[in-house]
Amino acid sequence: MSLLNEKFSKIGVDHAPGQEGRQQVGEIRFRGEKLPGKPVDFSHGDVDAFEPIPGSLDEFAAGYKRGGKQAYTEYRGGGSIREDLAAKLAKFTGKSVSADNGLIITPGTQGALFLAMGSTIGRGDKVAIVEPDYFANRKLVQFFDGELVPVRLDYLGSTGRAGLDLTQLEDAFKAGARLFLFSNPNNPAGVIYSPAEIGAIADLAEKYGATVIADELYSRLLYDGRGYTHLCAMNINPDNVITIIGPSKTESLSGYRLGTAFGSPRIIERMEKLQAIVSLRAAGYCQAVLKTWFSEPSGWMEERIMLHQAIRDDLLKILRSVAGLEVRTTEAGSYLFPRIPALAVNIQEFVKVLRLQAGVTVTPGTEFGPHFTDSFRLNFSQDHEAAIQAIERSVKLIERYRK
Amino acid sequence: MSLLNEKFSKIGVDHAPGQEGRQQVGEIRFRGEKLPGKPVDFSHGDVDAFEPIPGSLDEFAAGYKRGGKQAYTEYRGGGSIREDLAAKLAKFTGKSVSADNGLIITPGTQGALFLAMGSTIGRGDKVAIVEPDYFANRKLVQFFDGELVPVRLDYLGSTGRAGLDLTQLEDAFKAGARLFLFSNPNNPAGVIYSPAEIGAIADLAEKYGATVIADELYSRLLYDGRGYTHLCAMNINPDNVITIIGPSKTESLSGYRLGTAFGSPRIIERMEKLQAIVSLRAAGYCQAVLKTWFSEPSGWMEERIMLHQAIRDDLLKILRSVAGLEVRTTEAGSYLFPRIPALAVNIQEFVKVLRLQAGVTVTPGTEFGPHFTDSFRLNFSQDHEAAIQAIERSVKLIERYRK
């Protein structure tokens, strides 16, 4: 079991979003008194502040009433749901999607990511991933016995582009990596890859015959009227691309655990084989709720974007009042990833300080890459006023713990 | 990718229950005309014939209305739901269950099985499994790079016991296996392990320090007033036992994808780590439905058992009219696993014949072990009359294709 022990020591969840209640509190020298205020959990969005797409519960009930047909779908998801979804995703991305063999419905985008990586990473395979990027990416590579090849994203030093180090990406391919995984918009940095960057990724993947998994979870929540470039619509072998997206974030359907992956039939087929032994299928009745996705009431998405943008702007203003704090303006999604000035406690300790002294839950930067020891991530899809007050408390604590 | 190709070639789903619609039909020399009648899908239970626990949809809606707290539970499942469940499972098994560190809620029992095996099988580890047993067991061992050590279940030749070959089990442990996985009641044979057999399994596991995963999915659907022995309540190191159970079958809650595993805190902790990268959690709103489980209306379970027993008896009578067919009387669960006489077509072909000529879907025996080339499994949790007619058609086709 020693190989297995090592593996599980790498995929710890103590600092993962949502698990903060299970943390053992070590000895921290607290400074000053607690700061009162409404607790805010920035580790994920607040679906009470931004509610699910209207009518989702009705669609669930309708699915329940359809009975066995809805409870026991094919492992890749119900046929008519896939047809509806394929048409919507084709319209969204500008690339045709095959309902029959190019699409799978999964338990959340986490499920899609797990299946996609389990279907493409063999033991010892080199896998190029971005740093910083979604915290599970590294853990998944480790779980499947792959070898991480990090590629830097200079999100703070770039403008007009996400900041991917394309030389490092090519070096990763030269070194033998045949899989590249990245989130766009980036989680946690909230940046959108430029058309030129996406074009370059497609060209490099073509040149080296690499497979690319594009996690586009946040690609509908775009600010300031920005555009978005889908990798799958570029000049790239469609059998080497998997796109992942789901309605858990912007659309607040997270309680139903729904996601989808589409693209390469070869990989989708493997993903279904894997799903058959992982969890059979996304909950059948929940799948029915996908009917509401990309079919939101007129103006609903526009309003949601506007409200999030307003929160973003208010939080940025407060954060930027801190001397030495750096933060890039979120271009899409609902994350901020500030780099904070040097403190007298380390980032894990400061995250605990925030939670215990200010009722503010954030995720330490180290979840997104080992070097991000001076950053934390916050999801600002929250009650607007509570979020402002929570960030004001956080700023006070940064000052209080400043080195 | 060649290691990966090999792995995925082993975990095919073409003949898996529920995937029949995706089968490519090869060339079969059909005999005679189609047999008309209402199609019956015996690959899984019919939740329209046996409906979910009353009130499940209301509990789901109540969960939805609780909002974010219900949508984002801990990865191991919501705290208060685990507390309620731990008390019920302790009462059911006669063994205390810790809500805090000894229980995890999963997306179906399939999810529990995947997480439990992923948490206990290291590359190259020998794993003892029963033949015949649940089809995913073998695939899971293969996916996790374990080595299968089969242990025979002589379900046709035994009475008063399931028929496990205890000598083979000890030999497996002697050969180095430190994990034993079995379903009780057995899927597909429908037999209950006797108290002596469970005692012997516990003793052997203790002697060799082995971990045991007991899949008790069907342990509430017991016929003829039979008893049931829970392995976890025996004299065995509790840190070496994981018990899996869920409400998808007897209780027809399959459309919600809910399961649970309980026992060893060491293994449950790993399962949660794994769940964090596999699918985060069982759908939050769905978890709320667990409140109805083990809290069914008075008499509801008794009636369900009685109705299933009556279907079992009618189907057995018809099947036993076939010369050369052998089948053991189901003691628990809703499966029959008849061994049929020699036919002019192989079992995969006959399964297709049944589907295409009689509208009858069953699962070939080879899904449960490579040697079961003369058997198929059927789940008789169906509309009673439709099931009778479907088995009558099946019997006609056995005669028509008899060698």
**Contact check, Cβ <8 Å, A257/B122:** no
Give residue-wise pLDDT tens across range B18-29. 777 766 666 788
Nearest CA in chain A to B50: A68
Residue A233, SS3?
helix
**Contact check, Cβ <8 Å, B257/A67:** no
Q: Does A108 touch chain B (CB under 8 A)?
A: yes
Query: Which residue among B18, B61, B143 sits closest to A74, beta carbon to beta carbon?
Result: B18
Q: How far apart are CA A220 and CA B306, in angstroms?
A: 52
Q: What residues of chain B lie within 8 A of the CB of A178, using their CB?
A: 1
Strands A211-215 and A241-245: parallel
Q: Which amino acid is at A290?
A: L
Q: What residues of chain B lie within 8 A of the CB of A121, using their CB?
A: 4
**Contact check, Cβ <8 Å, B13/A75:** yes
Give residue-wise pLDDT tens across range B142-188. 999 999 999 999 999 999 999 999 999 999 999 999 999 999 999 99
pLDDT of residue A23: 65
Q: Does A309 touch chain B (CB under 8 A)?
A: no
Give residue-wise pLDDT tens across range A102-120. 999 999 999 999 999 999 9
Give residue-wise pLDDT tens across range A202-240. 999 999 999 999 999 999 999 999 999 999 999 999 999
Give residue-wise pLDDT tens across range A66-78. 999 999 999 999 9
Q: Does A29 touch chain B (CB under 8 A)?
A: no
Give the gap in angstroms from C-alpha A77 to the nearest C-alpha of chain B: 11
pLDDT greater at residue A27 or residue B321: B321
Q: Does B338 touch chain A (CB under 8 A)?
A: no
pLDDT tier at A149 (50, 70, 90 boundaries)?
A: very high
Q: Does B260 touch chain A (CB under 8 A)?
A: no
Chains A, B: CB contacts within 8 A come to 197
Instruction: Please check the confidence at residue A382 and state whether its pLDDT lies above 80.
Output: yes
Q: How far apart are CA B255 and CA B239, in angstroms?
A: 32
What is the 3-state composition of chain A as percent helix, strand, coil, each rounded to the nearest 5?
40, 15, 45
Phi, psi of B195 (to 5 degrees): -55, -40
* Residue B289, number of CB atoms within 10 A of its CB: 29
Domains assigned to chain B: 3-51+299-400 (3.90.1150.10), 56-292 (3.40.640.10)
By C-alpha distance, which of A17, A15, A11, A12 is closest to A335? A17
Q: Which of residues 215-244 of B touch A (CB under 8 A)?
A: none
Give residue-wise pLDDT tens across range B192-206. 999 999 999 999 999
Q: How far apart are CA B74 and CA A22, in angstroms?
A: 9
Residue A40, SS3?
strand
pLDDT of residue B1: 54
Contact B308, B381 (CB under 8 A): yes
Q: Does A140 touch chain B (CB under 8 A)?
A: yes
Q: How far apart are CA B60 and CA B50, in angstroms?
A: 19
Q: Does A9 touch chain B (CB under 8 A)?
A: no
Give the gap in angstroms from C-alpha A253 to the nearest C-alpha of chain B: 8
pLDDT of residue A10: 78
Q: What residues of chain A lie within 8 A of the CB of B46, using their CB?
A: 68
pLDDT of residue A25: 60
**Contact check, Cβ <8 Å, A276/B136:** yes
Mean pLDDT of the region A271-285: 97
Q: How far apart are CA B231 and CA B245, in angstroms?
A: 13
pLDDT of residue A17: 75
Give residue-wise pLDDT tens across range B301-310. 999 999 999 9
Give the gap in angstroms from C-alpha B29 to the nearest C-alpha of chain A: 28
Q: Does A247 touch chain B (CB under 8 A)?
A: no
Q: Which amino acid is at A342?
A: A
Instruction: Please check the confidence at residue B382 and state whether its pLDDT lies above 80.
Output: yes
**Percentage of chain B exceeding pLDDT 70:** 98
Question: Token pair for residue A383?
Answer: 């009650």
Query: Which residue among A48, A256, A280 sits closest to B285, beta carbon to beta carbon?
Result: A256
Residue B29, SS3?
coil
* Residue B396, number of CB atoms within 10 A of its CB: 15
Mean pLDDT of the region A130-134: 98
Give the gap in angstroms from C-alpha B115 to the nearest C-alpha of chain A: 8
Mean pLDDT of the region B28-34: 93
**Contact check, Cβ <8 Å, A75/B18:** yes
Instruction: Convert B263-275 to b/e letters by CB count within 10 Å (16 or more is b).
Output: bbebbbbbbbbbb
Q: Which amino acid is at A322?
A: V
**Contact check, Cβ <8 Å, A123/B145:** yes
pLDDT of residue B7: 81
Q: How far apart are CA B160 and CA B196, in angstroms?
A: 10
Cis? peptide before A132, omega within 30° of 0: yes
Question: Token pair for residue B288?
Answer: 């709320």
**Contact check, Cβ <8 Å, B44/A18:** no
Q: What residues of chain B lie within 8 A of the CB of A280, using their CB?
A: 18, 107-108, 110, 257
**Cross-strand partners of B105:** B260
pLDDT of residue A24: 63
Nearest CA in chain B to A110: B279
Give residue-wise pLDDT tens across range B67-85. 999 999 999 999 999 999 9
By C-alpha distance, which of B279, B78, B49, B123 is closest to A280? B279
Mean pLDDT of the region A152-157: 97
Q: Does A146 touch chain B (CB under 8 A)?
A: no
Mean pLDDT of the region B342-364: 96
pLDDT of residue A29: 87
Place of tokens 């939740």: B47
pLDDT greater at residue A315 or residue B25: A315
Query: Which residue among B3, B107, B120 sits closest to A123, beta carbon to beta carbon?
Result: B3
pTM of the model: 0.96
Residue B182, SS3?
strand
Contact B329, B181 (CB under 8 A): no
